[in-house]
A and B are shown apart, each in its own frame.
Chain A
Amino acid sequence: MSGRNLITDAKNTWCPGCGNFTLQFSLKNTITALGKEGTPLDDIVIVTGIGCHAKMADYLNINSFYSIHGRAIPAAAAIKMANPDLTVICCAGDGDAYAEGLDHLIFAAKRNSDITVIIHDNRVYGLTTGQYTPTSPMGFKGKSTPGGTREEPFNPMEIMLASGATFLARGYTRKMGLLQQSILEGIRHKGFAFIDVLQICASYFNRSEYYDRLVYELTDHDPSDFDAACGKAREWDYNREAPIALGTFYRAARDTMEDRIRVERKREKNRDSTIRRILLEKS
């Protein structure tokens, strides 16, 4: 098990310069670290949607559930509920989790599902070759909006705080050390961990210069302070130029969905006696 190569021999088809490589290394290193800490690799499951980001399921040599577009999160949440001993990591795209499957993201946060959701937020549909997403800036000229979008992006950090996420961080694929730290923290967090990763899309939306100029690491910030977290979340609205904080915004201890289910575990396991009891009640 410890000898397992964490990268499969599947052919990698990400574009040169794609931020997904950084995410892949970060995940590989994180999983290695978890293994060293004693988490059996067999207990880890990665769940992905559909998009460039989702190829992570093919590339990492661990249990995986390669779901359909927008639907990584409900599968991930159910895997964790079915077996709370598993470590469930969910890689989703911004099109995936913010457009096609936003409902599931909000509900997983609301329930405090004990999963880690990493959004490969390249702020574009990569796999379908460059259309705008909910986090593309206003005026974004994509293939479906050649004249520029006429709607403002929404701010996923604010949405997640409003929905009940108990761990909230932002990463950037050109700051790998910090990104890796956020992912590890997210996985270690008991409860719903959400990490919005500003991921460079080399082919359709390369904002390296913009991010490099504006990002900074959160220090002097108390992640247990919800209002402070809201303030940091609002600092940059994914649209207008402003300082972009990286690192942990918010962390809270709250019972998880799985804790609540575990408490409820029932005694009766014998199917025949349950059927007999019910039929007797109904006669």
Chain B
Amino acid sequence: MKEISVLIGGKAGDGINIAGMVVAHLFNRIGYRVYMYFDYPSLIKGGHNFAIIRAAEGKIGSHREKVDFILALNQDSVEFHKDLAKADTVVVYDNDRVRSEGIGVPIADILKEEGAPPVMGNSCIIGAFARAAGIEWAVLEEVFKKQVRKALEQNLKVARRGFDTAAEKKKIVPLMHDTFPVISGNEAIGLGLIHGGLDTYVAYPMTPTSNLLHFLAAVAEEHEIAVFHPENEIGVMLMALGSAYAGKKTAVGTSGGGFCLMTEGFSMAGMSEIPVVVVLGQRTGPSTGLPTYTAQSDLHFAIHAGQGEFPRLVVAPGDAEQAFSWSSAALRLAWRCQVPAIILGDKTLCEGIYSFDQAEAISPGISPPFEGIPGPGYTRYRITENGISPLLSPPAKDAVIKVNSYAHDEAGITTEKADLVAAMTEKRERKGNFLQQEVNALPSVHLEGTAGNRNTLICWGSTLGVCREVAGNLGLRLVQPIVLEPLPVEALHRALEGPGKVVVVEENVYGQLELLLARNGIRVHGHVRRYDGRPFPLEELEARVREVLA
């Protein structure tokens, strides 16, 4: 077998996410590319959690409808996922808690005999699974040494007991490929921001970007960045603007609800021309919605958030490599063009786990910011041809640096003069045009498949993973606009020339990208939408796209 899918399930609090990561690392160690989808309700203890880990020879970013193994730490893992089982799916289960066929592991007895705490049940079942999948003990040992640092000896003992209980059922063939770092989308975004020059990160916890806050806070223990968690998202945004004014490249992170609170400050970023980056991880809305599930329903919100008219950048990376490259790019573009930028992710991307190929994560080259020259002649909002006023932050020798949320003159002093207001509005408009040129010069539309292919699939954001495979299987061309504002309209028109049919895939009900395309003169022939908080499994999307194209 050269591709494998494993479901591991248990109660919230069983550490399913971590166990899933260990399984992913087992596959990584034997040369596979991995992807993990983690499904959990918004509970700390008690509800049912599961992770689907998929490993394949090529790059992947989606899960399948069926799995080859089910690792069941609770009865729900067998009952709830009957539809995921095939005739030959192997169930590895906890003898005491689960009634099933397959490989029963006497986890309670083993833990008791080894004097191990209940959480180590995970290690036990992973050990049994490794044997059942024909993964060598040495591989497991190596992965545990790296990934399970706490109580390693005891975890290994418990895993060995599980390993010895099981028998090989379906062998996954080791590949001779390189291993890759295995990271979450949030981590890819965080690393991209660091790459782009991040100095300061400010956030209030909110799924699905809380883990980005946790990740960067941990990074800040070693690396010279500042991470701060203030009283609320209004404070977050205003702190970010203060910090950016004082010369720090600053990003914030949130989800839709938090971004609602940030929009007044976001609009101030537009008026005061203070750059800032917002990592906006979408989840199922409206309102509190499904806090731990996915959606792509904040595209129009991101594009229009904030009163008044001002240029902004919105990028929607589709996998870990793009998350790295475009987070770096978004930060640098925000500072070059002095605009607020949004990195639009979602639960699938942010909390999805990917094999990360750094060679593929090449961040587009972007020229440095326009810097001002200190001195008494400096004005923060100097009117220039491209609309960008050279930037300075205090202290700057003999310069008075005034930023203002009111309409203002070149010096930053409030004005209500009609001609000045118009001139400044036009300055900001020119800045937007400059941003558009910068975006056009970048690979802002990602293309896959040969141009000769008749039909095209359009996607945005995290559905890239599943769409890439569907497009490959059905021989379609794939078009993914990565920058969604300002939209690279010309590149999209070029990509969509020809007589073929065009299908748009989105995880929202109104067809937000489709509407955006229509506004820009791009008509499509059909669409596939999903809005139940769950990402598309590969087979389902493939069948639905086939239907639309038929």
A-side residues, CB < 8 A to B, are 1, 4, 8, 10, 40, 42-43, 45, 47, 50, 55, 57-58, 61-68, 71, 74-79, 81-83, 85-86, 101, 103-104, 106-107, 261, 265-269, 271-272, 274-275, 277-280, 282-283
Are B181 and A64 closer than 8 Å at their CB atoms?
no
How long is the Cα–Cα vector from A267 to B221 in the complex, in angstroms?
9
Are A68 and B265 closer than 8 Å at their CB atoms?
yes
Q: Kindly identify, within residues 448 to 501 of chain B, every residue whose CB is under 8 Å from any CB belonging to chain A.
A: none
Nearest chain A CB to B104 CB, angstrom units: 33
Tell which of B28, B199, B222, B402 touches A57, judged by Cβ atoms closer than 8 Å. Answer: B402
Interface centre among B231, B238, B404, B414 (most CB of A within 10 A): B238
Are B414 and A74 closer than 8 Å at their CB atoms?
no
Tell which of A10, A45, A271 touches B413, judged by Cβ atoms closer than 8 Å. Answer: A10
Nearest chain A CB to B536 CB, angstrom units: 27
Closest to B409 in A: A10
Chain A residues near B405: list those with CB within 8 A: 50, 66-68
Chain B residues near A68: list those with CB within 8 A: 238, 264-265, 268, 405
Q: Kindly identify, within residues 222 to 255 of chain B, every residue whose CB is under 8 Å from any CB belonging to chain A.
A: 222-226, 228, 230-232, 234-235, 238-243, 245-248
| Given A47-B242, A58-B414, A81-B226, 12 extra CB contacts under 8 A | A42-B396, A55-B414, A66-B408, A67-B268, A68-B238, A68-B405, A71-B234, A71-B265, A77-B242, A82-B200, A278-B191, A280-B181
Tell which of A66, A103, A267 touches B402, judged by Cβ atoms closer than 8 Å. Answer: A66
Interface centre among A45, A86, A272 (most CB of B within 10 A): A45
Closest to A9 in B: B413
With contacts A1-B398, A65-B403 taken as known, whether A78 is within 8 angstroms of B246 at the C-beta atoms is yes
Are B191 and A275 closer than 8 Å at their CB atoms?
yes
**Is B183 among interface residues, defined by CB-CB distance under 8 A?**
yes
Nearest chain B CB to A164 CB, angstrom units: 14
Q: Kindly identify, within residues 138 to 192 of chain B, every residue whose CB is under 8 Å from any CB belonging to chain A.
A: 179-183, 187, 191
Shortest 8 CB-CB contacts between residues of A and residues of B: A78-B242, A82-B246, A75-B242, A78-B239, A74-B238, A42-B395, A66-B404, A279-B181
Are B246 and A79 closer than 8 Å at their CB atoms?
yes
Nearest chain A CB to B26 CB, angstrom units: 13
Closest to B267 in A: A68
**Is B219 among interface residues, defined by CB-CB distance under 8 A?**
yes
Are A82 and B248 closer than 8 Å at their CB atoms?
yes
Closest to A70 in B: B234
Are A74 and B191 closer than 8 Å at their CB atoms?
no
Chain B residues near A267: list those with CB within 8 A: 222, 224
Chain B residues near A277: list those with CB within 8 A: 222
Are A265 and B224 closer than 8 Å at their CB atoms?
yes
**Is B394 among interface residues, defined by CB-CB distance under 8 A?**
yes
Nearest chain B CB to A5 CB, angstrom units: 11
Number of A-B residue pairs, CB cutoff 8 Å, is 171
Closest to B376 in A: A4
Tell which of A4, A63, A67, A268 touches B394, judged by Cβ atoms closer than 8 Å. Answer: A63
**Is B406 among interface residues, defined by CB-CB distance under 8 A?**
yes
Chain A residues near B358: list those with CB within 8 A: 279
How long is the Cα–Cα vector from A269 to B199 in the complex, in angstroms?
10
**Is B290 among interface residues, defined by CB-CB distance under 8 A?**
no
Are A78 and B243 closer than 8 Å at their CB atoms?
yes
Are B239 and A75 closer than 8 Å at their CB atoms?
yes
11 A-B residue contacts at CB 8 Å?
A: A40-B395, A43-B395, A63-B401, A63-B402, A68-B268, A75-B242, A103-B234, A271-B197, A274-B194, A280-B181, A282-B182
Are B222 and A279 closer than 8 Å at their CB atoms?
no
Nearest chain B CB to A100 CB, angstrom units: 10
Are A64 and B402 closer than 8 Å at their CB atoms?
yes
**Is B399 among interface residues, defined by CB-CB distance under 8 A?**
yes
How long is the Cα–Cα vector from A269 to B220 in the complex, in angstroms?
11
Nearest chain A CB to B210 CB, angstrom units: 18
Tell which of B226, B230, B265, B394 touches A45, judged by Cβ atoms closer than 8 Å. Answer: B394
Are A268 and B239 closer than 8 Å at their CB atoms?
no
How long is the Cα–Cα vector from A80 to B221 in the complex, in angstroms?
21
Are A283 and B181 closer than 8 Å at their CB atoms?
yes
Per-position 1/0 for B188-207, Cβ under 8 A of A: 00010011010110100000
Are A75 and B245 closer than 8 Å at their CB atoms?
yes
Chain A residues near B197: list those with CB within 8 A: 271
Nearest chain B CB to A204 CB, angstrom units: 21
Are B182 and A283 closer than 8 Å at their CB atoms?
yes
With contacts A74-B230, A74-B235, A266-B222 taken as known, whether A279 is within 8 angstroms of B191 at the C-beta atoms is yes
How long is the Cα–Cα vector from A274 to B232 in the complex, in angstroms?
29
Are A274 and B231 closer than 8 Å at their CB atoms?
no
Chain A residues near B247: list those with CB within 8 A: 82-83
With contacts A275-B191, A283-B180 taken as known, whether A77 is within 8 angstroms of B265 at the C-beta atoms is no
Nearest chain A CB to B507 CB, angstrom units: 27
Are A57 and B404 closer than 8 Å at their CB atoms?
yes
Chain A residues near B268: list those with CB within 8 A: 67-68
How long is the Cα–Cα vector from A75 to B238 in the complex, in angstroms?
5
Chain A residues near B394: list those with CB within 8 A: 42-43, 45, 63, 83, 86
**Is B400 among interface residues, defined by CB-CB distance under 8 A?**
yes
Nearest chain A CB to B241 CB, angstrom units: 6
How long is the Cα–Cα vector from A282 to B21 in the complex, in angstroms?
10
How long is the Cα–Cα vector from A42 to B219 in the complex, in angstroms?
33
Interface centre among A61, A71, A104 (most CB of B within 10 A): A71
Nearest chain A CB to B133 CB, angstrom units: 21
Tell which of A4, A47, A261 touches B226, judged by Cβ atoms closer than 8 Å. Answer: A261
**Is B356 among interface residues, defined by CB-CB distance under 8 A?**
yes
**Is B397 among interface residues, defined by CB-CB distance under 8 A?**
yes
Are B222 and A75 closer than 8 Å at their CB atoms?
no
Are A81 and B228 closer than 8 Å at their CB atoms?
yes
How long is the Cα–Cα vector from A266 to B222 in the complex, in angstroms?
6
Nearest chain A CB to B548 CB, angstrom units: 38
